[in-house]
Amino acid sequence: MSSELKISAGQYSDKGRKETNQDFHGIYVPKEPQLSAKGIAIALADGISSSAVSDVASQYAVAGFLEDYYCTSEAWSVKTSAERILSATNSWLHAQTQKSQYRYDKDKGYVCTLSAMVIKSTTAHIFHVGDSRIYRLRGKALEQLTSDHRVWIAQGQSYLGRALGFKPQLEIDYQTQQVEQGDIFLLATDGVYEHVSEHDMAGIIRSSADAPEGLDAAAKAMVEKALQQGSADNLTAQVVRVDELPHWQAAEMVQQLSGLPLPPILDARTEFDGYTIIREVHGSSRSHIYLATDSETGALVILKTPSIDLGGDPAYLERFLTEEWIARRINSAHVLKPHVPTRKRHYVYVATEYIDGQTLSQWMIDNPRPSLEAVRGLVEQIAKGLRAFHRHEMLHQDLRPDNIMIDKTGTAKIIDFGATRVAGLMEADVLSGHDNILGTAQYSAPEYFLGESGTTRSDLFSLGVITYQMLTGQLPYGAEVAKCRTRAAQNQLRYDSVQHEDRDIPAWIDGVLRKAVHPNPAKRYGELSEFLYDLRHPNQTFLDKTRPPLLERNPVAFWKGVSLILAAIIVMLVALQSTTG
């Protein structure tokens, strides 16, 4: 394996016996860092014979996919990036048809098939709608990976059941395939595969792969054979061979900084890489945090340096360096901002803005009985920060009071991205050890302890626990969540109602919190907005529920009461027996 993905490709297209070629195709191989972050994109579109403008649709679909895919966030997964682009393309094509003379005859409108593939790291992401095809040749076997969206009727006749631009909403097939070095992918329109057998296509690829013209010759040979066999349609073939796979992929910051030395322990007044150290803010076995001034601008900044003892741990350094990568891609008033100097960096460290304030942990110590409105205000700010992560397909995964700062203006900001999961980087295998529980046990969602991947509902669980703690000073399940490593054990968790507290907390708020921190993620709120809305507006479902029974609210008092009643009954029975005796 090499340090980057490498392919060889060949393409050929011909109008065949038709007047115009309505097929369109393309391959884009970017340079680093996009090659690692986004991968290689291949696309093929086939126009529909009944439409005189289908060539416009094909060209728009392929060109738009190859261009716009690389404009999407590097933090997004391939699936999210591609599906958003294709949905927008579908909407535009459908709108063009609706505005044209073909609005009542969609078969003549701006429609086409599309088969597209993104090879990122060691995975092929396949997107497909229509009846063009994608095959994989591994060894001697040619395997069809896509399914034709054709509806067959009597006497061997058929029509296209799905296509790009056909309907207002797009229904597209998506799948992933693990890639091996030497794999060959073939994309072909029906003008080719309907007239050349899979056996012959595989033979042509194998025999032409080492020819002077390489894979271009293989693509052309397949088209020519289809013509010889009587194809009357447009013909296009693309052949892509995976020559080398990356042993690992990294974001550009990791690549640039991983070769730099680790900083020494820094003392006050030390001049370090253009900064003047004021004091150490926090130190642990994993990192050191310093307050410093930028010598060029005079701005106060926070410097975070890795532990020297962990300098030989690649997974730790990758995750450490990714923190600044994440900060640079999130723009929110409720998320810590990076401090990006213009000068060259000589050591491995992370620089961020300085927040003049206190942690939420300290705020709770200073405000042991906050008003419900004060809690709502802070929770809403934290949720805005979480939304910024989720829009980029990031999960914070370590939301806790120590990782939330409140500045002098009362603005809450999420800090510390050391446990953040980035969908786009996980696909590229940037971060190692991502299956471990990286967050703090008391605030981590129960599903993490079952070895499951988190979702946005996992971050919502952590926010629910924090909300509960702000109101009560306690945790909804105490320290029991981390001890439950099976679903059965988690089902036995007992939620401690906030109505136990000697606080003026509405009963319906307890229902909101109970749902937010439910051990089963499927039974939590689906969206942060739903949680926030219910936190301010009484939900009828929770209003209809009565106050928990005494046994649940205060078991000791319940059993004392039962004992007194039983004692009274015994006394009465004894007295009655004495009277009758």
Q: Are residues 496 and 365 in the same domain?
A: yes
Looking at the structure, do residues 566 and 534 belong to the same domain, yes or no? no
1 part of a folded domain: no
Provide mean pLDDT across the span 130-144: 94
Instruction: Pull the structure tokens for residue 26.
Output: 């393309």
Same domain, 393 and 440: yes
CA distance 486 to 490: 6
Please check whether residues 286 and 266 belong to one and the same domain: yes
Q: How confident is the model at residue 116 (pLDDT cuts 50, 70, 90)?
A: very high
- Residue carrying the six token digits 């970017």: 30
Residue 249 has pLDDT above 50, yes or no: no
Q: Report the chain's mean pLDDT, rounded to a whole number.
A: 89
Q: In this predicted structure, what is the pLDDT of residue 432?
A: 47
Q: Mean pLDDT, to the nearest integer, of 276-286?
A: 92
Residue 68 shares a structural domain with residue 150: yes
Q: Are 293 and 391 members of one domain? A: no
Quick: pLDDT tens for 517-576.
999 999 999 999 999 999 999 988 888 764 556 666 667 777 788 888 888 888 888 777
Residue 299: per-residue pLDDT = 94
Handedness of CA 507, 513, 517, 522 (dihedral sign): positive
* Distance, C-alpha 417 to centroid of its chain: 15
Same domain, 329 and 369: no
**Cα Dmax for the chain:** 118
The per-residue b/e assignment along 260-293, b for 16 or more CB within 10 angstroms, e otherwise, is eebbeebeeeeebbbbebbeeeeeeeebbbbbbb
Q: 478: domain CATH number? A: 1.10.510.10
Last residue of a domain, one of 196, 216, 244: 244
- Among 320, 353, 386, where does a domain finish? 353
* Owning domain of residue 488: 357-548
- Domain C-terminal end among 210, 244, 278: 244
- Position 252 scores a pLDDT of 47
Residue 370 forms part of a structural domain = yes
Q: What is the 3-state secondary structure (H, E, C) of 221-243?
A: HHHHHHHHCCCCCCEEEEEEEEE
Which of 15-29, 109-123, 428-442, 461-475 is least confident? 428-442
Q: 10 Å Cβ neighbour count for 441?
A: 13
Whether residues 448 and 463 share a domain: the answer is yes
Q: Which CATH number goes with the domain that contains 86?
A: 3.60.40.10
- pTM of the full predicted structure? 0.75
Q: Is residue 195 part of a domain?
A: yes
Residue 431 — pLDDT band, cuts 50, 70, 90? very low
Q: Is residue 190 part of a domain?
A: yes
Q: Dihedral of CA 320/321/324/325: which sign?
A: negative
The 10s digit of each residue's pLDDT in 495-509 is: 999 887 677 889 999
Task: Pick the range with the lowest mean pLDDT from 172-181, 441-450, 475-484, 544-553.
Answer: 544-553
Domain co-membership, 178 together with 308 = no
**Contact between residue 252 and residue 33 where contact means Cβ atoms under 8 Å apart:** yes
For residue 376, tell me if it sits in a domain. Answer: yes
CB 233 within 8 A of CB 242: no
Burial call 377-391: b when 16+ CB within 10 Å, e when fewer: ebbebbbbbbbbbbe
Count: domains in the chain? 4
pLDDT at 251 exceeding the cut of 70: no
Q: Are residues 373 and 315 in the same domain?
A: no
- Tell me if 424 sits within 8 A of 77, measured CB to CB: yes
Helices (H), 250-344: 252-257, 314-329
Query: Looking at residue 454, what DSSP letter applies?
Result: P
pLDDT tens, position by position, 54-71: 999 999 999 999 999 999
Question: Averaged over 425-437, what is the pLDDT?
Answer: 59
| CA–CA dist 211, 214 (Å, integer) | 5
**Do both 197 and 327 map to the same domain?**
no
Distance (Å) of CA 214 to CA 5, 9, 11, 142, 206 = 19, 8, 10, 19, 10
Confidence of residue 1 (pLDDT cuts 50, 70, 90): very low
pLDDT band at 118 (very low <50, low <70, confident <90, very high): very high
- Confidence band (pLDDT; 50, 70, 90) for 257? low
- Measured in degrees and rounded to the nearest 5, phi and psi for residue 177 equal -135, 130
Task: Give the span between the Cα atoms of 75 and 322, in whole angstroms.
Answer: 11
CATH code for the domain in which residue 293 is found: 3.30.200.20
User: What integer is the mean pLDDT of 103-113?
Assistant: 84
Place of tokens 């995750």: 319
pLDDT of residue 33: 82
- Same domain, yes or no: 42 and 147: yes
Residues near 131 by Cβ (< 8 Å), separated by ≥ 6?
Answer: 46, 113, 148, 149, 150, 160, 190
